[in-house]
Chain A
C-alpha cells in the first residue's frame, strides 16, 4: 500500500479501493474481470515502483505500416531493421534517451539486451526534451505470426503511452480498432495516432484521411483523438510527432495517466457487472425487528408456545391425581377405563410417559425461518450477493435444529415432576378423608349408643355416645366433604396459576435461548456477509471517486 501513497492521491486511493474490491469480490465477480483487475494492480504496483523519470512510448500498428521506419526516424539511427517482407519485426526494439535508471524498467518490459539501444544525452543536445523517453518498436499485432505471439499485445498493455502507427491502406482495419482502439477508449491522453506513409498521398488526400480517421476514432469513443500525419520516408511530420512525445515525456505524467485510464476501464467493467446503484442502501446489519422475527419463527419451529400449553394442560391433568378430591376420583374411576375396554390398558402408562420427551425442532420450519430472514434482507441486492447472503444464512442451518433441541432440552419442563405442595395437599386431602371417616364413625357411634341406646357407653367414650353432639358432628362431617371438594377446586386453581407462571417463565427462557442460538448460528454469518457487501460497494464507490 505504501507505494501508492507516493503517487497522486487520486490514483493511490483508487488503486487501494480496487484492491479492496478485488479482495472482496473474490468468487463473486467474474473470474476474468478479477484476473484483469489483479493484473492491473500488479502492473500498477510494478510500474510505480520503477523509474518515474522515464516514459515508455510504444509504436504499435499493423504489419507494413512503418513502425520500424518511424522508430528509426525518431531515433535518427537505423536501429530497427526495416524490410519489405511481411511481417518484418518479430522482436521489440527499444531506444532510451537518458539511460540512468532505465535498466529495471527495460527488464520489466522484458526487452532483450541486444535490442536495447541508448541515446547518450550528450549526443543529442537538441533533443534534451526527449530525455527520459523509452521508445519501443513493437512487432505487429495483425499478421498470421501475431496469432501465436502475444508480444505486441503484452507491450501495448504495459506502455505508458502508445503511438498507433497507421497507414493509408490499413488505417481502418478492424484488427486495430476493434481489438485495441475501441477497447482503450478513454486513454486519449496517452494515445497518439500517427498516420504514416503520408508521402504516398496528395496533401488533399491526407487532409481527407485525417478527417475520416478523426471521425472514425470519435465514433469509437476516443473523445479527443490526436492524429499526426507522418512520413518516415520524407521526414514529414516526424518533428510534430516528436513534439507530442516530448510533451508527454517532459510532463512525466504519462505512466500515471495511463494507469488512471486503465483503472477507469476496469471500473467501468466492474460498474457494469455490479452497479453500485442503491446497493449501499441495503442493510449492513440485521436490525432488531428482523432478529425478533427470526427468533419468533424459530420458536415456532421448536413449538415453544405449544410446549408451554402442553405443560399447562399436562400439569392440570397430572395434578388431578394428587390434588383432586379423592371421592371425585373414585367416582370417575368407577365409570370405567376406556383403554381397558379396548384391551389397551397397558398403554396408559405409555401415554402418560409421552409427556417426558425432550423438545425438538422441526427442521423444515427452521429452514423456512432462515430463508425468510435472508429473503427479507436481500431484497434488491445483486443476484450474486443475494445468493452469498443466502449461503451464509444457511451455512449452519443443518446443525441448527439439533442445536436448538440440545439447548432447549436443558430448560424443558419435567412434566412428570410432582411439586411438594401437591403431596402436602394430597396428605391434607387424605386427612380430610380420615376426618370425614372419623366423623362418620362418630355419628354412627352416637346414633348407635346415644340415640338407640344399644349399650352402655364407656365413660371415656361418653362424649361420642352423646346424642346431643350428633347434629354438630353431622354438620362437621358434611362440611368436611365440602371442605375437601373446596380445597380440590382451590388447589386446581393454584395449579393452573402455578402452571401459567411456570409457562411464562419457561417461554421466556426458551425464547432467550433460541435467540442466542439464532444469533450465533444465523445472524452472525449473515452479518459478516452483509458487512462484506457493504464494504465492497463502499470500495466500489471510492473507486469511481
Chain B
C-alpha cells in the first residue's frame, strides 16, 4: 500500500522513538572528550604557567624530569635553537673554575654551584655533553627569554644591572663573556635577568652574615660589588666543596650536579627561575656541609644571592631577599621569582603559598644550617605547605578518580585493569601520599626476591637480631617484617605509609594477611628501614601480591637472588618492573659458592647489562653456614656500609627517595591513562553491545515493515480467509444497499479477523525471535552476558496479542468515525464497519490492486491515504514499543554488569594532568 510511504513524517517519528534508546552518540562523545583533554594537555603545558608550577615543585633533583619536559621540548625547540650554542660555550669555560664563574654568573647560574667544585665539574661537563638534559637545557633559556620579554621593561633594567657586573667579573676570563654573548645577542638582557635570579638562589646557602651586604648591593644596583663578592665566593666555595665531595663520594656530588642540571633543564623550559631553585637545593647540602667545615667560604656564595636580588628586585624583590638565607626556601623563592618573571598566571594558592613558604622556609633554613652538621641525624624537611597541599590535592583527586572506576563488563583484560586499578590505589594510599606529605621520612628499603633466596636471613643479619623467621620450608615469610631504628619507629608505626596494614609485634601463624610486623633494632642505622617481604615466585600466590604491594611502597628496592636462581624468569620480571618504575634498586646475589664466584658473578653481570641494569649497585654474598638465622657478619660488610652511607648522607638518601617517588609519579603518566583507555574501551564496548541490540531490533522492525508492505503477510490462512470472505460473497454482501441488508455471518468475520491477527502476531514474534537470536549470537562472541537472553521474553506473545488486537480496534475505530465514507455513498450504501475494517487491513497488507480499488471507491483516495498512514504508523508505534521492552532486557543485563562511568575516563585524564601541573 502506497499510503504507508505517504506518511514519512510519522514513520520518521517512530524511528526517532525507536532510536531514543540508543546511546551510540554517547560513546562517541566520551571518546571525543578525553581526546580533547589529551590534546589540551600538551598544548596548555608549554604556554601556561601550570607547567611552571609543576616544575617549581620539582626542586629535588631528578633525572626523570627531562622526560616530563619532552613533550614541551618539541614545542619549544624552535626557540631553543639559538640558545644551544650558548650552552656549548659553557663547556669549554668549565675547564677552569675561576674563568667559568663569570660566564656562569651571567648565563646560567644553575651551573654555578657545580662550577665551583672542581672535581665535580669535570665529571659534570661530559655528563652534560652526553646526556639528553643538554637538549632540555636549551629550552630553558629560550623559555627564560620569553617571559621577561613579555614583562618587558621591568625585568630588563635589573638584567642590565646584572649584565654590567658580569663582564667586569669576567675581566679575568676574557673568553667567557664573548662566548656568552654569542648565543642570544638580541635578547641579551633577558637571560641576564633570569640568570640573576638564579644566582640569587644559588647563593642561598650563603650565610646570613653577608646578607646585609647583599641588601646594600641590591640597593646600589651596581655590579661591581657583586662581582667582587662573587669572586670571593667562587674560589672559596670551589675549594671546600671539592674537598668535601671528593672525600664523601664524588658520585654523589656529581649526581647532585647532574640532578640539578636535569631539573634545571626541565624547569628551564617553562621558567628559568625554578631551575635555579633546584640548583640551589642541590647546592644546599653541600653548602651546609661546607658551613660545617668552613663558614667563610659559604659566605662567598652570598653575593650571588645579592646579584640575584638585584635582578629580581623589580619582579619581587622582598620575597626573594627573604628567601635567600635558607636553602630550602630557595625553592619557593625560585618559584616566586618564576612567577614574577614570567608575569605568568601562577595559581593563586601557589603564589599565596610561596609567601608563606618563604616565611616558613626561613625557619627551616635555620634549622638546616644548624642541624646538618650533625651527621646521621634525621632531618624532617616537609615540603612547603602550599606545594605539598597542591600535590596532595592532585594526588587525592587522582586517587578518587581511580577509586571511582568500575569495570563492569567482562572484556578481555578487565581483570588486569582491575588489578592495575587496585595497584595504583594501594600505591597511592600506602606510599605516594604519605611520602609526599613528609618527604624526608626515613627511607624504606624493601628486600624482595625469590623464595629461598635468603631475604629473611639478610634482614636478620643486618639487624643483628632475629626479626624475621628463617627456615628451610618454602615459602618461609608470609607476613612482611619491617625492621628500623627505635627512633624511626614512631614514623613507621603511625604513618600512613602502608597504612592499610595492621602493625603487629611479632610473626605468628594466626596473623591476618593484612598485617606488618614492626620490630626495632639499634643495629640498624637511623633513617633507613628494612622491609623483609614474602617471595615473588612460590606456590603461595598471595605472597606475590603482598610482595608487589611492599615494592610499590619502597623507596629503595633491594633485590635478592641466588647463584642457582639468578636466571629465573620471575626474578627478571621483577627487575623489569623496577626498571619501568625507575625505582632505585640494589641487587644482592647470595648463596654464591666461593669457588664459582667469579664465573657466576660475571655471567650475572652480563645478563644485567643486557637488561640495561649494568649500572645498578650489586652485592655478592657467598654461601656460608647460617647460624641462628643469620649469616656471618663478614659477608655483610659492604651492605652494611652502604646502609650506613644512606643513613648518614641525607642528601643521597633523599635523592634516592625522591628518584623512586618520581619514578612512581612518572609511572602514573602511563598507568593512569592506560586505565582510562581501558575504561574508554569498556564504554566503547558497551556502546557496541548496545548497538548490536539496536541493530538487531531495527532489523526486525525493517523485516516486519517489508513484510507488511510487500504483501507477504497476506498468505496462508489470511489469504484463505480473504478468499473465503470475498469468494463467498460476504464482501459484496457487506456493501448491500441500505434497506435490504442481510448480516454477514459473524463467524466468518471473526475467523478472518483472527487470522489477520494471528498472522501479524506471528510475524512480530518471529521477528523478535530472530532479533533475540541475533543479539545473542553477536554478544556470545564477545561476552558472557548473552546467557539466557537468546529467546524473546516469555510474555512477548501475550503482549504482542494485546498490541495487535488493540491495533485492530484502533483501525475499526478509525473507519467508523463519521465522515470517513464518501458522502455521496453514505446515502446509498450502508457499510458494515467490521467488514470494512477487514477489507481495509487486507488493503493495507496486500500488494493486490483489488482491495485498493474497492477501498478507493468506498473512501476516496484522499481519506484512504490518510487513514492508511495513521493505521500504519500506529501499528509501527505499537511494534516499536514491544521491541523497546524486549531491547530493555539487554540494556538491563548490561546495566546489571555495571555501567562504566563515561565521564570517569575524562576525570582520569584530568587528574593525571592536574598531578603533572601540581608537580
A-B interaction: yes
Residue of A nearest to B714 (CB): A360
Whole-angstrom distance between the alpha carbons of A64 and B538 in the complex?
16
Which of A171, A313, A365 contacts B762 (CB under 8 A)?
A: A365
**Given A313-B728, A362-B715, A172-B567 contact (CB < 8 Å):** no
The answer to the question of B676 belonging to the interface, with a C-beta cut-off of 8 Å to chain A, is no
Docked CA distance A485–B593 (Å):
128
B696-728: which residues lie under 8 A (CB-CB) from chain A? Answer: 707, 712-713, 715-724, 726-728
A516 to chain B, nearest CB (A): 18
Q: Which of A234-242, A244-252, A333-341 has 4 or more CB atoms under 8 Å from chain B? A: A333-341
B828 touches A341 (CB 8 A): yes
Closest chain B residue, CB of each to CB of A371: B769
Is the CB of A55 closer than 8 A to any CB of chain B?
no
| B600–A177 touching, CB < 8 Å | no
User: In the bound complex, do residue B723 and residue A355 qualify as a contact, i.e. CB atoms below 8 Å apart?
Assistant: yes
Residues of B within 8 A of A36 (CB): none
Residues in chain B near residue A64, CB distance under 8 A: 563-565, 567
Report the minimal beta-carbon distance from B354 to chain A, rounded to whole angstroms: 50
Complex Cα distance A190/B770, Å?
53
Q: Are A371 and B766 in contact (CB under 8 A)?
A: yes
> By the criterion CB–CB under 8 Å, are A351 and B726 in contact?
yes
CB atoms of A205 and B724 under 8 A apart: no
A371 to B767, CA, bound (A): 12
B826 nearest CB across to chain A (Å)? 11
Q: Is the CB of B724 within 8 A of A310?
A: yes
Closest to A62 in B: B568
Partner of A178, one of B452, B453, B539, B763: B539
> In the bound complex, do residue B720 and residue A307 qualify as a contact, i.e. CB atoms below 8 Å apart?
yes
Give A171 to B540 CA distance when docked, in angstroms: 12
Q: List B contacts of A143 (CB < 8 A).
A: 567-569
The answer to whether A145 touches B857 (Cβ under 8 A) is no
As a 0/1 sequence over residues 193 to 211 of chain A, the CB contacts with chain B under 8 angstroms (1 = contact) are 0000000010001001100
Q: A171-B474, A362-B718 are contacts. A84–B829 as well, Cβ < 8 Å?
A: no
Verify A342–B825 contact, CB threshold 8 A.
yes
Bound-state Cα–Cα, A390 to B772, Å? 13
Task: Give the chain A neighbours of B450 by CB distance below 8 A.
Answer: 169-170, 173
Closest to A145 in B: B567
Q: Kindly identify which residue among B452, B567, B726, B828 contacts A87, using a CB–CB cutoff of 8 Å.
A: B567
Residue of A171, A339, A343, A371 near B732 (CB, 8 A) is A339
Contacts of B828 in A (CB 8 A): 341-342
CA gap between A205 and B472 in the complex, in Å: 7
Residues in A neighbouring B763, C-beta threshold 8 A:
362, 364
**Number of interface residues, chain A, beta carbon within 8 A:** 78
Would you call B850 and A351 a contact (CB within 8 A)? yes
Which among A3-11, A223-231, A298-306 touches the partner chain? Answer: A298-306
Interface size, B (range): 35 or more
A432 CB, nearest partner CB in chain B, Å: 25
Interface presence of B731 (CB below 8 A): yes
Does any Cβ of A come within 8 Å of B755's Cβ? yes
* Alpha-carbon distance A458/B763, docked complex (angstroms): 80
Contact among B707, B715, B720, B787 for A309, CB-based, below 8 A? B720
Residues in B whose Cβ lies below 8 Å from that of A344: 853-854, 857
Given contacts A144-B572, A364-B762, contact A350 B716 (CB under 8 A): no
User: A144-B567, A172-B474, A309-B724 are contacts. A335–B765 as well, Cβ < 8 Å?
Assistant: no
List, in ascending order, chain A residues with CB within 8 A of B475's CB.
Answer: 172
What's the nearest-Cβ distance from chain B to residue A348, in Å?
Answer: 7
A300 with B717, Cβ < 8 A, contacts A341-B737, A387-B790 known? yes
B729 is an interface residue with CB less than 8 A from chain A:
yes
Q: How far is the CB of B139 from chain A (nearest CB, A)?
A: 40
The residue on B at minimum CB distance from A415 is B727
> A84 and B596: CB pair below 8 A?
yes
Q: Mark B845-857, 1 if CB is under 8 A from A, else 0.
A: 0000010011001
Q: Name the residue in A167, A178, A209, A362 with the highest tally of chain B Cβ atoms < 10 Å from its Cβ.
A: A362
The reply on A146 being an interface residue by CB < 8 A is yes
16 contacts between A and B (CB under 8 A): A86-B566, A168-B452, A169-B474, A172-B475, A300-B716, A301-B762, A303-B755, A306-B717, A309-B720, A314-B723, A338-B735, A338-B736, A354-B726, A364-B759, A375-B791, A401-B715
Query: Which 5 A-B pairs rank lowest in CB-CB distance, beginning with the nearest?
Result: A303-B717, A64-B564, A362-B716, A306-B720, A310-B724
Given contacts A84-B600, A177-B539, A342-B858, 15 further A-B contacts (CB under 8 A): A63-B567, A85-B603, A86-B564, A86-B565, A142-B570, A173-B450, A173-B451, A173-B568, A208-B472, A212-B474, A301-B762, A310-B723, A347-B853, A364-B764, A365-B716
A contact residues vs B (CB 8 Å cutoff): 62-65, 84-87, 142-147, 167-175, 177-178, 201, 205, 208-209, 212, 216, 220, 300-303, 305-307, 309-310, 313-314, 316-318, 335-336, 338-339, 341-344, 347-348, 350-352, 354-355, 357, 359-365, 367-368, 371, 375, 383, 387, 390, 401, 415
